[in-house]
């Protein structure tokens, strides 16, 4: 596998279990915007916009660094919203919920909230290679079929 560096705006190809490829755009590490396109081609040819995004998620950086997903092209990040979504965190020790966003520097990226407020958002987590590939395949199946 080819080692590579994380480059914001790079489009990566993601091998799927059906022999096709899915695609994602690298944003600020470790976030990836996954696109609603899959095909047999190894490169995504086209412009990326908000309409193309299925979901955004944080992935384990080794997926890119170790070359599991190879860069194929470059996307213009001015064409879509590359901001980080709000997610929730649960503190087991303190039995409390908080919302998380990387742009909330003044509150150390977190704001306290209730369980009800938290559960309208996705849980904050770092996805592994097999977890995120499975999630992408399920999302693509729901969009295409």
**Low-confidence residues of the chain, pLDDT below 50?**
145
Classify residue 143 by burial, with Cβ atoms within 10 Å: 0-12, 13-18, 19+.
Answer: exposed
Same domain assignment for residues 91 and 140: no
- Number of domains present in the structure of the chain: 2
Confidence at residue 113, expressed as pLDDT on a 0 to 100 scale:
93
CA–CA distance from 60 to each of 66, 103, 104, 132 (Å)? 11, 20, 22, 10
pLDDT in tens, 103-114: 887 778 889 999
Per the structure, the complete domain to which residue 54 belongs is given by 1-81+125-145
Instruction: Give Cα 63 distance to the centre of its chain.
Output: 12
Are residues 35 and 90 both part of a single domain? no
Measured in whole angstroms, the distance separating CA 139 from the mean position of its chain's CA atoms is: 12
65 and 110 inside one domain = no
Region of 82 (left: φ > 0; alpha: ψ -120 to 50; beta: rest) is alpha
């Amino acid at each position: 596998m080819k080692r590579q560096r994380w480059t914001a705006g790079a489009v990566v190809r993601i091998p799927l279990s059906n022999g096709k490829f899915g695609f994602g755009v690298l944003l600020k590490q470790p976030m990836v915007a996954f696109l609603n396109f899959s095909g047999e081609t190894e490169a995504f040819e086209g412009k990326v916009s908000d309409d193309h995004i299925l979901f955004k998620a944080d992935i384990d950086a080794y997926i890119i660094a170790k070359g599991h997903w190879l860069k194929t092209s470059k996307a213009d990040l001015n064409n879509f919203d590359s901001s980080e979504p709000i997610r929730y965190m649960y503190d087991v020790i303190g039995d409390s919920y908080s919302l998380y966003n990387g742009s909330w520097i003044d509150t150390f990226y977190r704001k306290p909230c209730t369980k009800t407020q938290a559960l309208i958002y996705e849980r904050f987590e770092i996805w592994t290679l097999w977890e995120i590939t499975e999630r992408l395949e399920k999302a693509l199946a729901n969009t295409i079929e």
